[in-house]
Amino acid sequence: MDYFEYRNGELFCEDVPVKTVAKKVGTPLYLYSYGTFERHFLVFDGAFRNIPHLACYSLKANSNGALVRTIAKLGGGADIVSGGELHRAIMGGIPARKIVYSGVGKSEQELRLAIEAGILMINIESEGEFLLLKKLSRKMRRKVPVSIRVNPEIDPKTHPYITTGLKKNKFGVLWSEASRLYREIAAEENLVPVGISSHIGSQILELGPFIEAVTSLRSMILELKEQGIAVEMLDIGGGLGITYKDEMPPRPDEYAGVVEDKLRDMGIRLILEPGRVLVGNSGIFVTKMLYVKRTQGKTFYIVDGAMNDLVRPSLYDAYHEIIPVVEAAGKTAAADIVGPICESGDFLAKDRQLAEVKEGDLLAVKSAGAYGFSMSSNYNSRMRAAEVLVRGSEFFVVRKRETLKDLTRGESIPSFLEV
């Protein structure tokens, strides 16, 4: 459920006309519904009320400070994958004790920052990372709570670019290696094995892969216990899918039910990393029609939004529903919706049936809250879009549109090139 709807033929975000925001802020822009985001978190978090847990919002989905602050106010934590996301989480008000750090390539500087901050847990993803943490914990003389991200070799049946739990993926370590590493961690004075972690992929639409993963992790926890290593937390990652077109993902209560069934007697604290499921349908991308270009047998709707703003269609061939901000009457026609980037791969949709729209009309790309702005870039020296948050009848610019000056900030001309 989201709070984007037509009223008298015009698209609203909560109680604000989308057209009003576009007129004030300009296009392209990202528009988020506070009410939708808040509701999605409360529904997801509430689904696990019968088991000790912490819902750590996955910042990589969308790290805007206003959204991070919302999670903090609602009592959630943060799942981070970089030192920059650690900074964003803390600046957003999320306590360090509610932050979990994953990712295969944590640098020494990033690990130092995480240790100094005193975060809840660092998920180790390789033997090399373990060795670096061992060195740092000794040098810094700090107790470091750690987990190992185990690769359970489970096929989540999703896009190959967003699977993370197979042997061929770069993430995590196999259990045979993890079992040995846990023993070595337990022998270290300053490394504390507090958890076990796994994340099998994203946009998962069936419960089966989750059941397989939790069943496998349960057996690993019991095996560790037999070795005298009693972990207190199980991080099962995120990955629950959303509806982009006609998908029917499991509801949060269904997901919680199968997880609780496997863990009820384990005395474990569950760590969850929801991202897309919270923010995906909480946002839209608004773009303006620039030109209608008709060639022999083909129609192009050229808009001011591009692959640098929303790369998912180009990168994953991902589907996003696209609707006019003001409902258009009349017959529909097939068109490619493309942007100004100098790439044939710059498109938001191909051969999409849309009511005929004209130059100057606004289009809304739905389900754009996750991996929209967070994956955007300055390709073709384009300025990144504004981000706007709506709450009830008010809207707030939570990130200003970049300026030409922003494009060259930090650059310098060496002296030998100066005129």
Contact between 35 and 394 (Cβ < 8 Å):
no
Handedness of CA 275, 279, 280, 284 (dihedral sign): negative
d(CA 88, CA 80): 9
From the list 322, 328, 325, 321, the residue with the least C-alpha distance to 355 is 328
Residue 388 C-alpha from the chain's centroid: 18
List the Cα angle 282/359/385 in 5-degree steps.
40
Active site residue 56: no
Q: How far is CA 17 from CA 4, 5, 23, 229, 297, in A?
A: 10, 10, 10, 56, 35
d(CA 208, CA 187): 36
Contact between 369 and 62 (Cβ < 8 Å):
yes
Query: What letter would DSSP give residue 157?
Result: -
From the list 413, 382, 195, 215, the residue with the least C-alpha distance to 304 is 382
Residues 6+ apart with CB under 8 A from 313: 307, 319, 320, 347, 348, 349
SS (H, E, C) 325-394: CECCCCCEEEEEEECCCCCCCCEEEEEEEEECCCCCCEEEECCCCCCCHHHCCCHHHCCCCEEEEEECCE
Q: 187, 248, 342, 419: which is the annotated catalytic residue?
A: 342
Q: Which residues are catalytic?
A: 342
